[in-house]
Every structure is written in structure tokens, then in C-alpha cells.
Amino acid sequence: MFSKKMVIIVGAVALIVVNIIILSVNSSRYSSYGSGRTAIFFIAPFQKTVTKSVQFFKNIWGHYFFLVSVAKENDNLKKAINQATDKNNKYREVEISNFRLRNLLNFRKTMTNKVLVAEVVGQDPSPWFKTIIIDKGKSDGVEKGLPVVVPEGIAGQIIDISRNYSKVLLIIDRNSAVDALVQRTRARGLIKGQSDGRCLSKYVLRKHDVKVGDTVVSSGLDGVFPKGLRVGCVTEIVKRNSGIFQEVTVTPYVNFEKLEEVLVVLGSPKHDFVSKQ
């Protein structure tokens, strides 16, 4: 009744329709019918092994071979950071020295005498003596006995000169002496260096009013330091039961440990003794 060809075509169409129906039914809900478990049971261990191996090699690549390039990149970044830090440090140093030199320049403008900027190149080899070596000497017009100052106050005095360098005796050295006055009361004394980095104002009369915190300035009477330059502040006063003098300890305003640039005051201080009569 039906040809063989016709049966095949109808069978195929029916199969397609059934297939579509099954697919449409299965797509709406999950079902494994137990076979999935078996498949997983057999396949998963191998999958795991392969996956682990892949992961292992991937890790090796990622954490070792790949790290070579990361290490290189890291090195480059480190170099860049170092350069940036170095540059930053240089800028900071320039900024600090700019501030210091501006300070020095401002102070220089206030000085009536001609001054010469010098750099500290060395310090005394012994802790018992307080001298520094500066990079200005005879060829720059420096002479023995000239005062050396910084914006904070008096630093010292030239005691030795060579052609291009000079030795400065700091006021904290035991051999140094500066004639000074207490700014507030004009009490006179002789500032002498002590071994602890401070100074002692000697021969200050007991009757004179001196208080802790008073500023001490140069009197100009020693013929070395110009009058009115700051020396330090009074930090201790000892009045003994006997004697006509009081011991006044003066802490210098200058930080001698951080001395980098100084000003040499050229020419002897000019005393203006012209009377106003």
C-alpha cells in the first residue's frame, strides 16, 4: 500500500518531531536519569588529574617563567623609584640650601661691613678643641683675626690662614673669648667656651641684673666682633656666697654641629666714636 520510500520519509519526520518534543520538554527541566553520576564517577578523576596538571604547568608559567619578566619589570620599577627618590632628595636638598642661602643673604644685607660667604670643609680632629676649616683664604681677602658670623649669631674668629683655606676658632672653644653684653640690662661679661658646647660669661658683676632667657650680644669692645651681634641666651646663673662676680652660662644660638656656610666679616669693625655735640 505504501512504498518503502514513503515509510522512511514519514519515519524520519516523526523522529524529528519526537526529538523536538523531547528537547523542548528537557530544556524546561534538568534530568540526568542516573547516567550522569556514573559518567562523573569514571571521568572526573581523569579530568581532575589533567586539570591539575594544566594548573600546575600554568602555575609554573605564571609564577616562575612569567615572573622573570615580572622581576625585570620590578627591577625597572625599583630603578625608577630610586631615581625618583634621588631626584626628590636632590630637590629637597636644593630647597633647604636655597632657604639657608636666602637666610644668609638677608643677613648679609643687614651687615654694614663687607662680608664673604665661606663653606665649612672640615672640623677639628680632636673633640677637645672646637675649630673648623673654611674654603676661603688669603687669596679671597681673609685675614687673621677676622670675625666669622652666621645669621643666628657669632660663630668664631679666624686664627690661621693659608692661600685658599682658613681655620676658625669657634666661640665654644676654651681658648675663645668674646666681649659681650646682656641686651636687656647692658651687663658686661667675657664669653668663654666650655667643653659641653656652651659658654660661660665671666666677670659679670654680681650687682647686675641678669635673668635666664636674656639675650647676650657682642659689645664690640674686643675690637674683633661688630657690636650688637647675637651670641646666645642665658640658661643658668650661679651666684656664690662670696665673690664680686656671678657665673652666667650662655647657650649659643648657633648650632655648631650643623654649621655648613659662614660669613667672614672683612675689614675691622668700625667704631663710631664721633660725639653728637
Instruction: Report the residue number, 106 or 194, with the smaller CB distance to another protein.
Output: 194
Among 113, 116, 129, 253, binds another protein (CB under 8 A): 129
Lookup result for grid cell 626628590: 88
Question: Applying CB under 8 A, does 124 fall inside the site for another protein?
Answer: yes
Question: Applying CB under 8 A, does 130 fall inside the site for another protein?
Answer: yes
Cα four-point dihedral sign 7, 12, 13, 18: positive
Instruction: Report the residue number, 160 or 209, with the smaller CB distance to another protein.
Output: 160
Question: Applying CB under 8 A, does 107 fall inside the site for another protein?
Answer: no
Question: Applying CB under 8 A, does 96 fall inside the site for another protein?
Answer: no
Q: Are 148 and 134 in contact (CB under 8 A)?
A: yes
The DSSP 8-state label assigned to residue 257 in this structure reads G
Q: Which three cell numbers stand for residue 176?
A: 675663645
Strands 147-150 and 153-161: antiparallel
Q: How far is CA 22 from CA 27, 31, 39, 90, in A?
A: 8, 12, 22, 79
> What are residue 115's DSSP bridge partners?
265
Provide the minimum distance between the beta carbon of 122 and another protein in the complex, in angstroms, as a whole number.
4
Question: Applying CB under 8 A, does 62 fall inside the site for another protein?
Answer: no
Chain positions 156 to 185 lying near another protein, rule: CB under 8 A, are: 159-160, 167, 169-170, 173-175
Cα separation, 192 vs 150, in Å, equals 18
Instruction: Report the residue number, 199 or 217, with the smaller CB distance to another protein.
Output: 199
Provide the minimum distance between the beta carbon of 151 and another protein in the complex, in angstroms, as a whole number.
21
Question: Applying CB under 8 A, does 237 fall inside the site for another protein?
Answer: no
Cα separation, 109 vs 94, in Å, equals 22
Question: Applying CB under 8 A, does 131 fall inside the site for another protein?
Answer: yes
Among 11, 45, 62, 122, binds another protein (CB under 8 A): 122
Among 195, 223, 228, 255, binds another protein (CB under 8 A): 195
Lookup result for grid cell 631626584: 87
The stretch among 56-64, 98-106, 130-138, 209-217 that binds another protein (CB under 8 A) is 130-138
Residues 6+ apart with CB under 8 A from 58: none
Question: Applying CB under 8 A, does 34 fall inside the site for another protein?
Answer: no
Question: Applying CB under 8 A, does 240 fall inside the site for another protein?
Answer: no
Cα separation, 184 vs 272, in Å, equals 22
